[in-house]
Amino acid sequence: MEDNETIKTIKERRAIRDYDTERDVSDELIHRIIEAGTYAPSAENQQPWRIIVVRDKEVQEFIGQIAVDRTVLLFGRATPREELERRLGYIRSKVSLERTIDILISGERFEYIKGKKETFGAPVLLVLAIDQTHVGNSQETLRGTGGVYGWSSPRHGVIAGSMMMQNMTLAAASLGLGSCVSSVQLDHFDDVGEISKRLGIPFPHWTPILCLTVGYAKHERTLGPPRQAPEEVTFLNQWGEPFSPKEGGK
Ligand SMILES: Cc1cc2nc3c(=O)[nH]c(=O)nc-3n(C[C@H](O)[C@H](O)[C@H](O)COP(=O)(O)O)c2cc1C
């Protein structure tokens, strides 16, 4: 069966880390992407998300530098080289493998978050914050279905926020835009605090969890890192039981 447009968009979306710095993205397009994001499901329709659209180059640089510094610590210092080689084993060419390791351990790989022309940065950076109190309908603007006190948990905020993020990446791809989800600058408690302070996010009630760079890709890219086949990640009825529709399934 041939893939329909939706499935094609899902499969062809790639993490884009080099942007065409001659092309800006209009607020109208950003609005459409965020609007698509807001159609994501959320527990009790609580919509526990806020987005900050960052166009300010200084703020982009501030957030990007935190990503670069954290990457140097994680990949450059904490991760043994053999482990990096093992994880990147799918890269066949020795030259590409060396280059990928270099840009990881030097933090260069995450320069794009800074939005600078010299490093083909993205014109727009979206910061997603989620409601971490998330108990009942705590939001004034909520037009949801009504909260049940004590039922929702902070975990729901993370889950719903992630689904919103996926909607936005797919919407961007469907509009011919490149994007990249990033979290390395928000994985460490100190970094989350610093970024919240700079953006005025009322942390920890609202907690930034992910960023999304958006822009036009410098190079078209549809091939990504390999995926496991459904047969490798799926069981039928019970853990360990193969699910293989091609061999005698329905
Ligand atoms: C939760 C999450 C965190 C991620 N963090 C980063 C990040 O900090 N920096 C980055 O460049 N990419 C980040 N990515 C993008 C992944 O590296 C990328 O999606 C993955 O390698 C698969 O490549 P593809 O999106 O091109 O298929 C993140 C993706 C997710 C879902």
pLDDT recorded at residue 44: 77
Query: Helices 154-174 and 27-38: crossing angle, nearest 10°?
Result: 130
- Which is the closest atom of ligand 1 to the Cα of 113? 11
Amino acid (one-letter) located at 133: T
Ligand 1 — pocket residues by CB below 6 A? 14-15, 17, 110, 180-184, 224-225
pTM for the model stands at 0.92
Task: In whole angstroms, give the CA distance from residue 180 to residue 215.
Answer: 9
Q: For 48-71, how does the pLDDT look when each residue is reduced to its tens digit (9 = 90+)?
A: 899 999 999 999 999 999 999 999
| Residues near 128 by beta carbon (within 8 Å), at least 6 away in sequence | 49, 50, 51, 161, 164, 165, 208, 209, 210, 211, 212
Low-confidence ranges of the chain (pLDDT < 70): 134-153, 246-250
Predicted pLDDT at 167? 98
pLDDT tens digits, 82-111: 999 998 988 889 999 999 999 999 999 899
Residue 132 has a pLDDT of 85
Using the mean position of ligand 1's atoms as its centre, give its distance from the Cα of residue 212 in Å. Answer: 10
The reported pLDDT for the residue numbered 244 is: 83
Tell me what pLDDT residue 247 has: 57
C-alpha 125 to ligand 1 mean position (Å): 15
Fold observed for domain 13-223: NADH Oxidase (3.40.109)
Strands 206-215, 178-182: pairing is antiparallel
Q: How far is CA 1 from CA 11, 170, 226, in A?
A: 15, 22, 21
